[in-house]
Structure 1
Amino acid sequence: MVTKNTKPGKVVNLRKTSPYSIKASINKSTYQKYEPRRKDLYIRDTKLIGFYIRIRPHGKKTYNCEAKLNGIGKKVTVSIGDCSLFTAQQARKMAQENLVKIKTGVNPKEEFKKQLADGHTLVDLAEEYVSIRELAPNTVKDYLYRIPNQMPKLCNKDIKDLTVDDFVSWWSGAKAKVSREVALRYVSSLLQYAIARKYIDENVAKDFRKGVLGGVKKRLPKQTHISKLKIEDWVESLVRLSPPHPDFKDFKGPDAYWEEPSISETSRDYVLFLLVTGKRKSEASNLKWKNIDFDVKTITIQKTKSGKIDILPMTNLLWHLLKYRYESKTKHKEY
């Protein structure tokens, strides 16, 4: 700081003030006196410390206030509103109220977020959650369908009023065990999201899962296998249940081999495709001809559960199976 002595005992501060921070007594016409500048311009009130006008480079002018939480913590800034919507007197009064809250340890922003949570149900929360998160279409549908249908009574309550006892009662009365476990997992995720949004302070669904149930045991995937010794017989039986291949129509005795068809050739080929590739049913049923390359013998699965593209080598069986279907007169143009 540079100072200059003018008279004995008097010091004049010559420090240059910022062109983007001005002190003034804010009144009804203050915001109209200043034009936007290259950077944000702050007009700070000389009477109420922490009350100021902010003028953005693009021209927007707003009343604001700021102070340190409890007077010593982090700085909290609250936007009061556009200068054209409030008089200076109204803005000053609102600033005083907010500054008192901040200095006594109350963050007006968090208080406002909690007020927004009023009237939030699990259904409201689910709709907000799936609109923000990048979920698979089937998962979105499941959230929006399962929660209101699986736990209608809980959906009638505000999320702030949900208790562990509510979940104990619901869990005891739920009939479908697997479905209730999925619903509980969904709700736990929703309430965790609500905590992040400052709607609530605790996740009672999580407390119920861990504190009351001791955690929901994960169900192991089915481990049913066809023995290597029986796989050939199993495939042969599957083929015999379907219509014979046209190439065999002139061979002697096909009727002695093929039984009366009980499944279509499409069903047969679908099962064989799943058996050989190990892919999911949805991945197989959504496979398009454009994703099959007969020249390099590859199959490209675009829509996998993990979201990644999966390229499979084509076995001889798959090549003949798909080639026959591709050249068939009854084939679908796209799938």
Structure 2
Amino acid sequence: MTQVHPTRSLPGTTSARADAQPHFVTRAIGSSSLRVFPLALSGNVFGWTADDAAATSILDTFAEGEGNFIDTADSYAAGRSELMIGRWMRERRNRDAMVVATKVGKSRENPGMHAEAIKRSVTASLSRLGTSHIDLLYLHIDDESVDFDETLLAVDELIGEGKVRYFGGSDHTGNRLIQARIACGQMGVAPMVAIQSHYNLLHRQEYETGLAHVAAIQGLGMMPRFALASGFLSGKYRQRADLASNPRGHDAAKYLRRKGFKVLNALDEIAEEHDTAVATIALAWLLNKPGVAAPVVSASRATQVPELLAAARVHLTRHQSAELDRASAY
């Protein structure tokens, strides 16, 4: 399920510099035909901690580093994230080179998973993104107040109309994914190809002891969200004073404890061995896990992007992976 993608000369670089970079491997998203750089750039900070200029610079740096997978949602900054991404693709004329994922279900205008809410949400997202289709649509919530049949039929209609290519789940339990697959089979509609779930070095048990097995059986591509534990696994939060320097720092406060420091120490050692950033190693660990297609990560500044992209070109040894497994054991 992997394919070596030859390195191209990048804008602003010499061919010699490009040739010196190691090759990376694209990954398929589940059973779909989508092939992506093994990292999804999240637009969750666009319109919040990243303004128009910052978002453009972040996206440019991501694309110049051969990133092609963008993840957003209709609820991010009340739709502004999609607008910023859409404007960037229009200005760069690169829509066909990008794999765009968005989510529906949490917007103030069209909440929930009723058929009409989904259809209205997708129509609005297509308009904001300035595109004719969404490559990967996530059901952002598991709305148990709505019969799965209604939700799945609505998505299948959108796929039949060419507005959505593939879809996946988010925040769904293993049992609900099984129910969805059975319902899809009974109705003869398109099944999920992907799942987005909370998974990182400090949050392993929920996925590894439940969802991982179901995802493997169903052949779902796994996109870990909170891949850097709200920035803690980048190493920028070492003491409580560091939390005040970032608007999202409070989310990382819960990791400032013995286990968190143990994991950071292991990351520090391995990052030094590879002469790379701590965040790079934390993402490389995820990319070593079965079924993981592309961790979802965000950046508030373009200067943060290269260390995220570098994870695709880092090869951890068996010993290094085992050391991180031990440090983060649950």
Q: Scaled by the length of structure 2, what TM-score is found? A: 0.21
Structure number with larger C-alpha Rg = 1
Greater relative contact order structure (CA < 8 Å, 6+ sep): 2
